[in-house]
């Protein structure tokens, strides 16, 4: 993890150099978008002035334009096309009617802000609320990065209790089509905690299709690693306040924020152990709990223990080497 922190520091310095180098191209893109693209889209699609205000503020964000320009290989035509597609997406909401408790934000200047996503609270019926809350937080983070002249934030992803079906069928396609094009490469690093053996297949597929640049920003860590090398990414021991209850994002101390009954499972789960023995013990414990609650086991458990002892005795007798019979 010490190497990861050093790598992220070097990447941040390299991004600042690239940003200064391509500032002229970014300015040209902004002028062309403000003079031609936004008026054309507003006239063709009959968009209101509220959309135009948001679009102009989005285009004037140097950090967003730089990240988009870098993602498309510093090609002006590709960046302009991606910018047009991003402006065609529905603008984020100014307020949330049904915020989701899985998303919170911590700010510890001068470190980058940290977005905490805890999938334990995610259910199939709350997916829409989760998407709207995450989109709202990304827009707030974009404004925060613009105000403090930073290029990215950190994300702590808690996989404890998450269901893979919901992740694959809903969240991943929505993230790649709606969220990522609008906020490209804004996440500087993702720290995944509480990962278990059930995500091994998902990760083996993802690392074959994801670009190397995205894989270099993903780290599988424990709470001890975060506490030692990235203490600003830790959630405080007290209940977190969700980002949607903040009157602003300029809080310096935790005493200034309102309290919330949301607790994070990142401080409750032990570090995962991905071994076959741990998997066997977990399955055995689950089977034992299910059998102890069954009525037939309470009646016939004595017969089951006798049968188990006979099987163990037969197994050891079978594996014992036979002595040659003297003639």
Mapped to the 3 state alphabet, what secondary structure does 33-95 carry?
A: HHHHHHHHHHHHHCCCHHHHHHHHHHHCCHHHHHHHHHHCCCCHHHHHHHHHHHHHCCCCCCC
Average pLDDT in the 59-72 region?
93
Both tokens of 144, joined, read: 């925060």
The average pLDDT across 189-198 equals 84
Is the per-residue pLDDT at 60 higher than 50? Answer: yes
Q: Average pLDDT for residues 221-244, to the nearest whole number?
A: 68
More confident residue, 291 or 50: 50
C-beta neighbour count of 80 within 10 angstroms: 19
> What would the pLDDT profile of 311-321 be if each residue is shown by its tens digit?
878 877 776 55
pLDDT for the residue 162: 73
H/E stretch holding 218: strand 218-220
| Segment 109-131 mean pLDDT | 82
Q: Could you tell me the residue ranges of all domains in the chain?
A: 2-88, 103-267, 276-319
DSSP symbol at 251: -
Model confidence at 130, pLDDT cuts 50, 70, 90, reads confident
Position 241 scores a pLDDT of 39
The mean pLDDT value for 93-97 works out to: 77
Q: Is residue 105 predicted with pLDDT exceeding 50? A: yes
Give CA–CA dist 142/115, Å, rounded: 12
Percent of the chain whose pLDDT exceeds 90: 25
Architecture of the domain whose range is 103-267 = 3-Layer(aba) Sandwich (3.40)
């Amino acid at each position: 993890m010490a190497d990861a922190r050093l790598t992220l520091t070097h990447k941040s310095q390299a991004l600042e150099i690239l940003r200064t180098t391509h500032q002229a191209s970014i300015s040209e893109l902004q002028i062309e978008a403000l003079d031609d693209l936004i008026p054309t889209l507003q006239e063709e699609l009959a968009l209101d002035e509220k959309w135009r205000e948001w679009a102009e503020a989005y285009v004037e964000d140097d950090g967003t334009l730089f990240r988009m320009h870098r993602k498309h290989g510093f090609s002006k035509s590709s960046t302009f096309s991606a910018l047009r597609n991003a402006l065609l997406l529905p603008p984020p909401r100014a307020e949330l009617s049904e915020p989701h408790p899985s998303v919170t934000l911590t700010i510890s200047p001068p470190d980058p802000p940290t977005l905490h996503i805890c999938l334990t609270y995610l259910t199939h019926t709350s997916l829409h609320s989760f998407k709207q809350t995450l989109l709202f937080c990304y827009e707030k983070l974009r404004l925060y990065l613009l105000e403090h002249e930073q290029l990215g934030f950190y994300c702590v992803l808690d996989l404890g209790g998450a269901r893979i079906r919901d992740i694959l069928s809903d969240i991943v396609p929505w993230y790649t089509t709606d969220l990522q094009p609008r906020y490209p490469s804004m996440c500087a690093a993702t720290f995944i905690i509480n990962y278990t053996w059930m995500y091994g297949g998902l990760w083996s597929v993802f690392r074959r299709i994801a670009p190397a640049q995205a894989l270099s920003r993903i780290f599988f860590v424990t709470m001890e690693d975060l506490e030692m090398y990235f203490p600003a990414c830790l959630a405080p021991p007290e209940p977190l306040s969700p980002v949607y209850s903040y009157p602003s994002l300029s809080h310096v101390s935790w005493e200034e924020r309102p309290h919330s009954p949301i607790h994070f499972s990142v401080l409750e789960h032990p570090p995962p152990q991905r071994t076959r023995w741990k998997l066997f013990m977990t399955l055995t414990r689950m089977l034992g709990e299910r059998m102890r609650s069954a009525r037939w086991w309470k009646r016939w458990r004595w017969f089951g223990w006798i049968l188990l002892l006979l099987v163990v005795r037969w197994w050891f007798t079978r594996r014992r080497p036979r002595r040659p019979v003297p003639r």
